[in-house]
Chains A and B, each alone.
Chain A
Amino acid sequence: MNITLKVWKQKNNNERGRFETYQVKEVSPDMSFLEMFDVLNEDLITEGKEPIAFDHDCREGICGMCSMYINGRPHGPLQGVTTCQLHMRSFRDGDTIVVEPWRAAAFPVIKDLAVDRSAFDRIMAAGGFVSVNTGNAQDANNILIPKTDADLAFEAAACIGCGACVAACKNSSAMLFVSAKVSQLALLPQGQVERQERVISMVNQMDEEGFGSCTNTGACEAECPKSISVENIARLNREYLSAKITK
Chain B
Amino acid sequence: MSSNNFLSLFNSSVGKKVIMAVTGLFICVFLIVHVAGNFQLFKADSGLSFNKYAVLMTTNPFIKTISYLLYTFIIVHAIRGIMIEIENRRARPVKYAKYNGNANSKWASRNMGILGTILLVFIVVHMHDFWYNYKFGHTPFTLYKTELATGNLVDVKDMGPDFKMGSKMEEMMAGDYKYVIVKDLYKEVKEEFKRLLWVVFYVVCMGAVSFHLYHGFRSGFQSLGLNSRKYNNVFQTIGTWVFAIIIPLSFAAMPLYFYFNQ
* A87 on the B face (CB < 8 A): no
Interface of chain A: mostly helix, strand, loop or mixed: mixed
Contacts known (A175-B13, A217-B109, A244-B9); A233 close to B222, Cβ less than 8 A: yes
- Within the complex, which residue of B88, B103, B110, B229 is in contact with A72, where a contact is CB–CB below 8 Å? B103
Contact: B103 with A214, CB < 8 Å? no
- Within the complex, which residue of B1, B3, B9, B226 is in contact with A197, where a contact is CB–CB below 8 Å? B1
Given the complex, which residues of B lie within 8 Å of A98, measured CB to CB?
97-98
Minimum distance in angstroms from A236 CB to a CB of chain B? 7
Given the complex, which residues of B lie within 8 Å of A100, measured CB to CB?
96-98
- Within the complex, which residue of B1, B12, B17, B92 is in contact with A104, where a contact is CB–CB below 8 Å? B92
Q: Look across to chain B and name the residue whose beta carbon is closest to the beta carbon of A237.
A: B225
Contact: A241 with B98, CB < 8 Å? no
Contact: B16 with A213, CB < 8 Å? yes
- Within the complex, which residue of A19, A106, A197 is in contact with B91, where a contact is CB–CB below 8 Å? A106
Q: Could you tell me how many residues of chain B have their Cβ less than 8 Å away from some Cβ of chain A?
A: 47
Given the complex, which residues of A lie within 8 Å of B6, measured CB to CB?
244-245
Contact: B18 with A241, CB < 8 Å? yes
* B105 on the A face (CB < 8 A): yes
Residues of B within 8 A of A (CB): 1-4, 6, 8-9, 12-18, 84, 87-88, 90-101, 103-106, 109-110, 112, 215, 218-219, 222-229
List 6 other contacts, CB 8 Å, given A216-B223, A218-B106, A241-B224. Answer: A72-B100, A73-B100, A105-B92, A237-B14, A237-B224, A244-B4
Contact: A69 with B2, CB < 8 Å? no
Minimum distance in angstroms from B149 CB to a CB of chain A? 58
Minimum distance in angstroms from A77 CB to a CB of chain B? 8
Minimum distance in angstroms from A12 CB to a CB of chain B? 14
Residues of A within 8 A of B (CB): 8, 17, 19, 69, 71-73, 77, 98, 100, 103-106, 168, 170-173, 175, 197, 200-201, 203-204, 206-207, 210-219, 222-223, 230-231, 233-241, 244-245, 247
Contact: A223 with B13, CB < 8 Å? no
Minimum distance in angstroms from B52 CB to a CB of chain A? 41
Contact: B225 with A238, CB < 8 Å? yes
Contact: A230 with B222, CB < 8 Å? yes
Given the complex, which residues of B lie within 8 Å of A200, measured CB to CB?
1, 4
Given the complex, which residues of A lie within 8 Å of B16, measured CB to CB?
213
Q: Look across to chain B and name the residue whose beta carbon is closest to the beta carbon of A223.
A: B104
Contact: B103 with A213, CB < 8 Å? no
Contact: A215 with B95, CB < 8 Å? no
Q: Look across to chain A and name the residue whose beta carbon is closest to the beta carbon of B107.
A: A217
Q: Look across to chain A and name the residue whose beta carbon is closest to the beta carbon of B2.
A: A204
Most A-side CB within 10 Å, residue of B4, B99, B104, B109:
B104
Contact: A71 with B100, CB < 8 Å? yes
Given the complex, which residues of A lie within 8 Å of B3, measured CB to CB?
204
Minimum distance in angstroms from B230 CB to a CB of chain A? 11
